[in-house]
Structures are given as structure tokens and as C-alpha cells.
Structure 1
Amino acid sequence: MGKRGEPLEVRDAHYPSMVQIDAYGNGGFRFADMSHRGSLMCVPSGVYGWEPKTFEEITDEALEQVLQESDGIEVLLIGAGDELKPFPEARKAPFREKGIMVDSMSTGAAVRTYNVLLGEDRAVAAVFIAVENT
């Protein structure tokens, strides 16, 4: 309960800018002196907690925000979890139409690639499935 018996307001996790990912594993991520348990989406408007827990849960709806912010994105990295899982070619079409290259890899490789591209001021977005082990 909040003040005066009011219910607490739970907000979606959101950090309002793109930042490097400092660490991953143990089911979450560390960035900007904070930690987040669960998967992440990094787009031009910031870093968001992201619902999918497995690669198979990455639906078109789960990626909708990437397409909505497509003006600021050239590359979408998909961190698929513990291992590389290819993103189906047919599902890449809406991204290609907006000039976005999609590349799927393990979450560890995606985090490292994201950090390099972000450090080079590249127009990158990423989604990362949380992993337990690093």
C-alpha cells in the first residue's frame, strides 16, 4: 500500500536513454549503475524491461516498438539466450522495408556487439533474452 492506504502504482521498467550494458547473467542485466531482472529492449527512446523470456516468445508484437522507432535504427540485434538461434528470414521483411538489418546471436555476443556499436555512435537497437549463466 502507498500513502494513505492507496495501492502502489507499478510502472514498466524504463531508463530514458541508450546506455552500455555493463553485465549480464543471473537472469538479468546491469547498466547505468542499476540492475534489471528479466529481458531488455534497447531502442532510441531508452532501455525497457521486456516481456519475452525465451527466443520463441519473441513475437511481432514484442518487436513493434522497434518498428515504431525505426527512424533512429539501422541495426537490430537479437540476443536469443544461451545460444545462437536464427531469426526467420520471413520475419525480417518489415525491418528491411524500414532499412533495418536484423542479426540474431547469443545474448552474450549481442551485448558485446551492442556495446561496440553504441560506443561508435551507430544507430543500433537490441533486444536481449536474459540468461542465467555467463
Structure 2
Amino acid sequence: MRMREAHYPGLAPIEAYGNGGFRFAGMSHRGSLLIAPDGIHGWSVTSPSEINVGSLVRILEAEARPELLLLGTGADIVAVPRDLRAALSSKGIRLEVMATGAAVRTYNVLLAEKRSVGAALIAVA
């Protein structure tokens, strides 16, 4: 049996988060999420130490990139490597780092305002 990558081909507000996952578009997803202009993807990152240029390649190499990327680092705010900030900035993407809960709430507001926003959200318990 072959597993397909978790992908929702659209953008949707996050209805709930916690217990190791997220709820959006009437569905639930266990694990972290990467929200890019082409949809919502499962994201293999489980801790802030795994966040790097490689883990955000889907955002960095996309034809359509968000103007702002919200990075939800779990229960606490964590500093990100300078090379990651530089890579995003070189592509015209601003980065805001916050706890996952704050990132979810901010994402929902900006999405409702039809702003160009992406999110990388580490699941929290």
C-alpha cells in the first residue's frame, strides 16, 4: 500500500489545534502543517530544531510565494537560524516567529483579510 502526501489543495482557516494536530476544512490532520499558496500540506517537522532552509523548500521554491510566513514554533517562541531568515528575505518573504497558537490565530485573521500569508505550524499537545 502506498501512502500519499497529506495535501489539501486550497487555503482554509484553521478551526482548531492541539492534541498533536489541526482541524481545517471539516477535516483533521495529525502532525505539523505547512501552508503554502498551493494548499495545506503535512509537514514532517516535529520540533523547532528541525526548522531550516530544507524544511521550508516548498515555500522558498514555489512560483507563487507568500509575502509573509508565520512560523509557529510549538508551545514556546524559539529563535530561528540567520541563514533561514536570509533565505526567506532573499525571496521577498517576511518572517514572523511566534508560538503555534498565536500563529494560528494570526493566520486566520490575515487569511480572512485575503492577505498573502503562509504558515509553518508545529503541532502542539
Aligned match for 2:80, one of 78, 83, 87:
87
d(CA) in 2 for partners of 1:91 and 1:32? Answer: 30
- Name the aligned partner's letter for residue 39 of structure 1: S
- Name the aligned partner's letter for residue 18 of structure 1: L
Conserved 8 A contact 1:44-1:73: yes
1:69 aligns with 2:62: yes
Aligned match for 2:12, one of 13, 16, 19:
19
1:104 aligns with 2:93: no
1:118 aligns with 2:73: no
Q: TM-score, normalised by structure 1?
A: 0.89
* Structure 2 residues without counterparts, runs of 5 or longer: none
* Structure 1 residues without counterparts, runs of 5 or longer: 1-7
TM-align CA RMSD: 1.1
Cα drift, residue 94 of structure 1: 1.4
Identical aligned residues as a percent? 49
d(CA) in 2 for partners of 1:82 and 1:114? Answer: 16
Cα drift, residue 70 of structure 1: 5.7
- Name the aligned partner's letter for residue 106 of structure 2: T
1:51 aligns with 2:71: no
Task: Number of aligned residue pairs: give it.
Answer: 125
d(CA) in 1 for partners of 2:80 and 2:115? Answer: 22
- Name the aligned partner's letter for residue 80 of structure 2: F
Q: TM-score, normalised by structure 2?
A: 0.95
- In the TM superposition, what whole-angstrom CA distance separates every residue of 1:24-52 from its partner, at most 9, and x where no partner exists? 00000000000000000000110001001
- In the TM superposition, what whole-angstrom CA distance separates every residue of 1:91-124 from its partner, at most 9, and x where no partner exists? 2111111111011100000000001111100010
Cα drift, residue 72 of structure 1: 3.4
Q: Find the structure with the greater CA-based Rg.
A: 1
- Name the aligned partner's letter for residue 19 of structure 1: A
